[in-house]
Chain A
Amino acid sequence: MSCLIQPLHSLLEPLDYAFMQRALLSCALIGFTNGFLGTFIILRRQALLADALSHSLLPGLAVAAMIVGLSPGGLLLGGLVAALLVALGGQLMARNSRLKDETAVASLYIIAFALGIVLIRFARVKVDLTHFLFGNILGVANGDLWIAYGAASLTLSLLVLFQRPLLLVLFDAAVARASGIKVGWIETGLLALTVLGLVASLQAVGVLLSLGLLILPAATAYLLTDSFTRMLWSGAFLGMTSAVGGLLLSFFANIPSGPCIVLLMAVFLGAAYLFSPRYGVLSRMIKGRHFHKESLERWEGHQGHDHQVPGSDSKH
């Protein structure tokens, strides 16, 4: 018996520490929410915009640290304002100049990032730049947990409530607009929630890795399913599992938690890329290049009949 209980006990060891309890809870919440949100970002093809936004959080955090110190609420607000300024500023520049939107956003975010690094020197309190860049999950305080609760419940309830119009807009914005949906509001709302998701994951993985929690689980789910709803929830579940799993791994292996979480997500993505039953690179190779037997049957079955469009019969 004791040989069973011993490993179990050491597995549960992290739960003995209050800081680990907080960190795990925070990881589960953020991993789930951002995994859910990621589906919308991927299908909207805004992964790179989200990356730009994550970098542009930095000057906002710096200004917040200068004004109010390191209170979680202030940092959240600062990051939110900075990222929205970059996103909206980019759109404005693209609209009234010759610059295309991805050039405009890319220029603004890298300027913002540089500005942020300079501004952090002037923060009232001594701020470690690496905490902002790479996160500090073990430093999660109760205030941070409240932020995570708030961000998670707001994001999830809004996304679930507006899931149907969102899906229509993601699938085809022009058609959605023609059917009477306020596409501009939906898109702006999604952008705001993306920034909220990024800010909420700062404490866990920092500015530079926050994109991972948004993109990797949803990208994995995208390779596994043909159902929008299933992609949403499996992205969320994968995000939660790998955030918690990555944190535990980092505890036992004594390596930084942010990279550990992202790398665990990468393992899942790699597995789906290779072995997804339908879309995996290796699975497709093993299956052969086409439905040889069935296409042969159909060819023989239709000789002398009208020409049949390939794929017009059920493949399964």
Chain B
Amino acid sequence: MSTPHKDQDPMLRIEDLTISYHRVPAIHHLGLSLNAGHCVGLFGPNGAGKSTLLKAVAGLLPAETGRILIEGKELSKAAPLIAYLPQRESVDWDFPVTVQGLVEMGRYHHVGLLGTFTKRDEEAVRQSLELFNLLPLAKRQIKELSGGQQQRAFLARAWAQEADLYLLDEPFAGLDRTSTESLATALQTLKQRGKLLLVSHHALAEAEAIFDTAILLNGELIAYGPTTDTLSSIHLECAYGTAVYSGEHHHHAKQ
């Protein structure tokens, strides 16, 4: 897992990464390396730095120490390869856009400012919709979808973008059983097609069914590797048993 199987750069390499909010570090000197074709769960208590890590990889937070490499490239040059999926509550579901329009947004990077959609772009949009079973819903406004369908629509947009690294912040939060299953299936599809998925997740219960690899965080990296080994009781005790350092006053760090 930690060594690339071919003699090439791993999809995601993080070296000695520290991220702080107002001098309180949310992630301490974290280092890890992940290859393509894996569905990776990000676990840890509240304030462990799960969202922080995802935002840092998305390029939304500056690194205090260390660096992040995507396929060997600096983050600033790798933006089109990354798809950051927003938390559901940060999306304006009343936005005047259909599922098709949403997926088309994924192609903007390819068509440029004024370029028209070519046959290839249209085909990419259609394939994305098909891959995530959204073709019958293409003309719907995004609010008229179920929770699982909404998540799949955002995955379809990322697929149309031709991203290689998918960052998902608590995508399973608030989904019912059926929606959870449909989203898990969609993640498996992406994994099989050689994408790397980094997904923050709350519940440990169904972790093994969804993720082949797990990262356990508590401000620091506790463990990472195959899900079963990583989420062993001794690791969990270590992650959830100690309080997260959150500065002198020890207030609750923002997640």
A contact residues vs B (CB 8 Å cutoff): 43, 161-162, 164-165, 167-168, 170-172, 174-175, 177-180, 222, 225-228, 230-231, 307-316
**Given A226-B96, A231-B96, A162 and B59 touching (CB < 8 A)?**
no
Chain B 58-82 interface mask (CB, 8 Å, partner A; 1/0): 1110000000000000001001101
The complex places the Cα of A310 from the Cα of B144 at a distance, in Å, of 10
Q: Determine the distance from Cα of A306 to Cα of B89 in the docked complex, in whole angstroms.
A: 29
> Of A162, A312, A314, which one neighbours B113 at CB under 8 angstroms?
A162
Q: Mark B196-237, 1 if CB is under 8 A from A, else 0.
A: 000000000000000000000000000000000000000000
Q: Which of chain B's residues has its CB closest to A307's CB?
A: B178
**Would you give 5 A-B contacts (Cβ < 8 Å), ordered by A?**
A164-B113, A174-B55, A227-B101, A309-B146, A311-B146
Contact assessment for A311 and B144 in the assembled complex, using a CB-CB cutoff below 8 Å: yes
Query: Which B residues contact A (CB, under 8 angstroms)?
Result: 55, 58-60, 76, 79-80, 82-86, 90-92, 95-98, 101, 105, 108-109, 111, 113-114, 136-137, 139-141, 144-146, 148-149, 161, 167, 176, 178-179, 182
Give 5 nearest A-B pairs by CB, closest first.
A180-B79, A178-B84, A178-B58, A226-B141, A164-B108
B183 to chain A, nearest CB (A): 12
In the assembled complex, how far is the CB of residue A181 from the closest CB belonging to chain B, in whole angstroms?
9
Query: Are the C-beta atoms of B179 and A161 separated by less than 8 Å?
Result: no
Interchain CB contact under 8 A, B105 and A227: no
B136's partner among A172, A177, A314 (CB-CB below 8 A) is: A314
* Chain B residues whose CB sits within 8 angstroms of the CB of A177 once the complex forms: 59-60
> A178–B179 Cα gap in the complex (Å)?
26
Does the CB pair A175–B86 fall under 8 Å? yes
CA distance A177 to B59 in the complex (A): 8
When distances are taken between beta carbons in the complex, the residues of chain A under 8 Å from B113 are 161-162, 164-165
**Which of B60, B97, B167 is in CB contact (< 8 Å) with A228?**
B97
Interface of B is mostly: mixed
New A-B contacts (5) at CB < 8 Å, excluding given A227-B101, A315-B144: A43-B96, A168-B108, A228-B95, A307-B178, A309-B178
Interchain CB contact under 8 A, A311 and B101: no
Q: How far apart sit A60 and B14, CA to CA, in the bound complex (Å)?
A: 51
A162 to B113, CA, bound (A): 6
Q: Which residues of A contact B141 (CB under 8 A)?
A: 226
Given contacts A171-B95, A175-B84, A180-B80, contact A228 B146 (CB under 8 A): no
Contact residues in A for B167 (Cβ distance below 8 Å): 178
Among residues of A, the one whose C-beta sits closest to the C-beta of B145 is A311
Q: How far is the CB of A166 from chain B (nearest CB, A)?
A: 10
How many A-B contacts are there with CB distance less than 8 Å? 93
Indicate if the CB atoms of B108 and A172 lie closer than 8 Å.
no
Judge whether A167 and B105 touch: CB under 8 Å: yes
Give the residues in chain A near B149, CB-CB below 8 Å: 309, 311-312
Residues of B within 8 A of A310 (CB): 146
Question: Within 8 Å CB of A230, what residues of B?
Answer: 96
CB distance from B63 to the nearest CB of A (A): 15
Contacts of A308 in B (CB 8 A): 178
The distance in angstroms between the C-alpha atoms of A170 and B96, with both chains bound, is 11
Known: A164-B113, A315-B144. A174 touches B90 (CB 8 A): yes
C-alpha spacing A65/B111, complex, angstroms: 47
Q: Is the beta-carbon distance between B146 and A178 smaller than 8 angstroms? A: no
Q: A164-B108, A178-B84, A314-B136 are in contact. Are A43 and B144 (CB under 8 A)?
A: no
B156 to chain A, nearest CB (A): 14
Q: How far is the CB of B125 from chain A (nearest CB, A)?
A: 14
Chain A residues within 8 Å of B90, by CB: 172, 174
Q: What residue of chain A has the Cβ atom nearest to residue B167's Cβ?
A: A178
Q: Which interface residue of A308, A311, A316 has the most chain B CB atoms within 10 A? A: A311
Specify which chain B residues have a CB less than 8 angstroms from the CB of A315 in the assembled complex.
140, 144
Please indicate the chain A residues that have their CB under 8 angstroms from the CB of B82 in the complex.
178-179
* Contact yes or no, A179 B114, CB < 8 A: no
Q: Are B86 and A172 in contact (CB under 8 A)?
A: yes
Given A161-B114, A164-B108, residue A309 in contact with residue B179 (CB < 8 A): yes
Judge whether A222 and B60 touch: CB under 8 Å.
no
A164 to chain B, nearest CB (A): 5
Contacts of A228 on B, CB cut-off 8 Å?
95-97, 101
- Residues in A neighbouring B111, C-beta threshold 8 A: 164
How far apart are the CA atoms of A47 and B58 in the complex, in Å? 30
Tell me the nearest residue of chain A to B102, going by C-beta: A171
Q: Please tell me if the beta carbons of A226 and B98 are within 8 angstroms of each other in the complex.
A: yes
- By beta carbon, the residue of chain B nearest A42 is B96
With the chains together, A7 CA to B85 CA distance in Å?
A: 60
A-chain residues with CB within 8 Å of residue B83 when the two chains form the complex: 178-179
Residues of B with C-beta under 8 A to A172: 86, 90-91
Give CA–CA (A313, B113) in the complex, Å: 35
A172-B91, A174-B60, A314-B136 known; A179 vs B109 contact (CB < 8 Å): yes
B162 to chain A, nearest CB (A): 12
Contact, CB under 8 Å: B137 / A174: no
